[in-house]
């Protein structure tokens, strides 16, 4: 099973709201990722967690706050977002650890976020 699940599928929020995106995998993967994807563009890496520790933050604004409660779960907390943050947010996982040795990243279906 190579499934990564994400909830919710769609989310509409105002600029003053606080919301969270959730991601779950049960493949025993130890690396998990958040990506942002705009229409007709490739995914852009936001954060990487390796063994439940944040290993990469691609200079993402603090209004995005990641959390990895355990090895199977990844959250992305959203606060005071801007309309330009509207995008498809993708979670991915791979076997992981530092030095991924080309391990395949498996993507979830994404959360379509609209910020009004």
Partner 1 sequence: QQQVKQSPQSLIVQKGGIPIINCAYENTAFDYFPWYQQFPGKGPALLIAIRPDVSEKKEGRFTISFNKSAKQFSLHIMDSQPGDSATYFCAAQETSGSRLTFGEGTQLTVNP
- Least Å from the CB of residue 83 to partner 1: 20
83 near partner 1, judged by CB under 8 A: no
Give CA–CA dist 74/25, Å, rounded. 9
- Least Å from the CB of residue 107 to partner 1: 4
- Kindly write out the interface string for residues 34-63 of this chain, putting x where it contacts partner 1 by CB under 8 A and - elsewhere: ------xxxx-x--x-x----xx-------
Give CA–CA dist 27/82, Å, rounded. 34
Give CA–CA dist 106/33, Å, rounded. 10
7 near partner 1, judged by CB under 8 A: no
Q: 């933050």: which residue's tokens?
A: 57
**Residue with smaller CB distance to partner 1, 35 or 64:** 35
108 close to 44: Cβ distance less than 8 angstroms: no
Which stretches of 2-66 are DSSP H helices? none
Site of interaction with partner 1 (CB under 8 A): 4, 6, 31, 33, 40-43, 45, 48, 50, 55-56, 88, 90, 92, 94, 98-102, 104-110, 112
């Amino acid at each position: 099973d190579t499934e990564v699940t994400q909830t919710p599928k769609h989310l509409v929020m105002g600029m003053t709201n606080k919301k969270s995106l959730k991601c779950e995998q049960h493949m025993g993967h130890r690396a998990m990722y958040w990506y942002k994807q705009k229409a007709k563009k490739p995914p852009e890496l936001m954060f990487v967690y390796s063994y439940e520790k944040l290993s990469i933050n691609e200079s993402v604004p603090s209004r995005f706050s990641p959390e990895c409660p355990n090895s199977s779960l990844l959250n992305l907390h959203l606060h005071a977002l801007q309309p330009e943050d509207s995008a498809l947010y993708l979670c991915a996982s791979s076997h992981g650890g530092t030095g991924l040795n080309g391990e395949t990243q498996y993507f979830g279906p994404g959360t379509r976020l609209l910020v009004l």
